[in-house]
Amino acid sequence: MSNKNKYGKVAILMGGNTTEREVSFMSGKAILASLIKSGVDAFAFDPAEEPLENLKKHGCDRALIIIHGKNGEDGKLQGALEYLQIPYTGSGVMASAIGMDKYRTKMIWSSLGIPVAKSQFLEKANYNSDAFKLDLPLPVIVKPADDGSTLGFSKVYKPEELTQAINYAFEKSNKILIEEMIIGDEFTITIVDGKIYPIIKIEAPQGEYDFEHKYYSDETKYLCNYDLGAIQPQIEAFALLGYHGIGASGVARSDFMINHAGQVYFLEINTIPGMTGHSLVPQSLATVGIDFDKLCLMILDGAGLGK
């Protein structure tokens, strides 16, 4: 059976009304080109440019979601596709909503025994800068609790820097997290359909793995198929437990750190990870002989409803 007959007409959902619109297009265009190369009848669809129900008019048989952040990765788009009865890729409504909410992900992971950094949750409606008391020792990380790509992210070393960092995070979201700063090495681990793939160690210049170094810089180093020795089986077990704990499906990527004392801390899970030239999931799978074209078909194979 040809891929055109196997998959039918496939919409690549990219762009969208999200702060990560530009990155989504980078990923989406790469996936679209790959699927067309593989003989799939695929087309680009931007929900910010036309109503989602137009997918039916286009004769869409399944949708591949590559819209990152709010309104793409948080369950809203997944719920709309469920209503339209269009099979889609990645995690379902519940897992997408939980995975996008870093605070509730941490609550679930902590209850499962997965090590996470200590944190303090703030909502904009209840925040009073004059009455606020930090419950964590400095230094801390301040970031939105429900967005990605390090947008609204700050490192705080001095008390006088805290209010500005909080206000900056609130510009991106109404919910933010203040976390203890873990000093150490950063890693990521990919899971596809419940199977673990090789770990990548991330070495960004001066340890600043920010938006620029994630998507545009060639200075960031990715050490693929990184061997963590005796602790690796435990880390892989934590990653799988975290994936299943939020009910994830399809492709996901969990980020974690190991401090200088050798303690492991899981940071977050990405249920729609990037697929750009700098992205980590394609690099991980490439180390075991799965190229980008095969990966795109694997993702498409996972399309479904009622996840």
The set of catalytic residues is 20, 149, 215, 253, 255, 268, 270, 274
Q: Is 139 helix (H, G, I), strand (E, B) or coil?
A: coil
CA-wise closest residue to 197 among 288, 304, 70, 261: 288
CB atoms inside a 10 Å sphere around CB 82: 17
Query: With left for phi above 0 and alpha for psi between -120 and 50, is residue 39 left, alpha or beta?
Result: left
- ω into residue 282 within 30 of 0, thus cis? no
Position 283, amino acid? Q
> What is the sign, positive or negative, of the torsion defined by CA atoms of 126, 246, 303, 224?
positive
Burial per residue of 113-124, b for 16 or more beta-carbon CB atoms within 10 angstroms, e otherwise? ebebbebbebee
